[in-house]
Structure formats: structure tokens, C-alpha cells
Homo-oligomer: A and B are copies of this chain.
């Protein structure tokens, strides 16, 4: 049985303000919840149509109809869990890290977190204007990778100024990334979906790179930020 106060709490967690206030976030789907249970994250509570074999105080078995009342998805997926938001860990730029400058789409952020996990990037720094990584749509898109990548929100300009390392950014006039020698450490900046890297951050980029376009002149003017990130990380790591 779901209580009114549980329903109210979960619905509040749709909003960043309340997630920060409560220190909690929501994850949905058996597979994602299992990955999160299997990590260092602290569980608050699981609401599920099937038992996860947890301690009594940690899970509530609910009906499909009850799940519909609390799920953020159009097609709820058997279970919803509330976890504690972990403490952010400070980031040192002594390896390759990825920095996001105002990435706004939850699906893009989720895909980028998954990419970082694939390419062994342990730290992702985000401007305060980047979408919250505990947004339910981000959690959904990360497929559990959120437990393996440290995401830190900070003043991106200040961070880039303080870390004396090469800062890479993709621009149309940059050096062909396929012909560039890319180091093992540095910061790769990816920009906003509509506007790219902001002027203030661009001024801090020390190495401008570009992904060559092979289509004709009419071709698309840009790649999606997550696909551009995929190609660039692949180039950094493939050597």
C-alpha cells in the first residue's frame, strides 16, 4: 500500500529544487534499480510490483495501478526506487575529463554519462547551467552508468582557469581531430545543443579541434552533442 505522503514525496522529486532539499532522487525499471542497488549508493526505498528480496523496511510491494500514480514514465516499468543523492567528489584534472557547458537535454546528458563510463572517464564536470544529472530522464538514459561516473557541478570558467591543463573544444575552424595528436590528460569541453560552447568558455579553450564533415556543402551544420562527444572521446582513446 502506498501512503499519501509517499506519493507526495515522489512527485516532488520530479523537481530539482525538491531533490536538492530532500537529498533524494528517483530511478525506474528493474534493470536500472538493480544496477543502482549494486553500487555504493544508499537506498531510501523501493516501490515494486515484484519483490527485490530486500529488508522489510526497504521495499513496498505495490500494484500496477499504484505504480502508475508515482511513475514519471508513460509506460511504467515494474518498479520505482528512491535513492540518496551521493556527495559530490572534488575533481583533479590529472587525467582526461569531460566538461559540459550548458548541456540542457536530459537524454543528451544521460548518453554522455554512459559514454564516459564506456571510455573510462571517471569525472564529468558540468556548468551550473547544465541539466541536473538526477533528473529522472537523465537517470533513465544513463542505464546505471551514473553510479560509475562522478558528476560534479561547478563554476566552469573558474575550474578551467584554475586547472593548468590543455582545454579542448570542437569548432568548425579547429584542427582536424583525425590528424591531431591528442594527449592522455586534459579537459574536453562539449557545448550547448543550440549555441555550442559559450564565448566565456571558448576564451579558455587552448586547443581548437574539429570533426571533418564528409557530406556535400548542403550538409547538416552540426552533430548532436552526444554523437560529437562519442567521436571525440573515441579519438582521444583509440591511439
- Give residues in A with beta carbon < 8 Å to B: 107, 111, 114-115, 117-120, 141, 143-145, 148, 178, 211-216, 218-220, 222-224, 226-231, 234-235, 237-238
Q: Which residues of B contact A235 (CB under 8 A)?
A: 234
- Residues of B within 8 Å of A223, CB to CB, are 114-115, 118, 230
Q: Which residues of B contact A214 (CB under 8 A)?
A: 118-120, 237
A212 to B235 Cα, complex, angstroms: 12
Q: Is the CB of A220 within 8 A of B118?
A: yes
Q: Which residue of B lies closest to A234 (CB)?
A: B231
Task: Give me 4 other A-B pairs in contact (C-beta within 8 A), A115-B223, A148-B215, A224-B226 excluded.
Answer: A118-B213, A120-B219, A148-B220, A212-B237
Evaluate contact between A215 and B178: CB separation under 8 angstroms.
Answer: no
Closest chain B residue, CB of each to CB of A176: B238
Chain B minimum-CB-distance residue to A105: B107
Measured CA separation A114–B222 after assembly (Å): 9
A234→B176 CA distance, assembly (Å): 12
Chain B residues with Cβ under 8 A from A144's Cβ?
A: 220
Question: With A120-B215, A227-B227 known to touch, is A178 a contact of B238 (CB < 8 Å)?
Answer: yes
Closest to A218 in B: B148
CB proximity of A22 to chain B, nearest CB, Å:
26
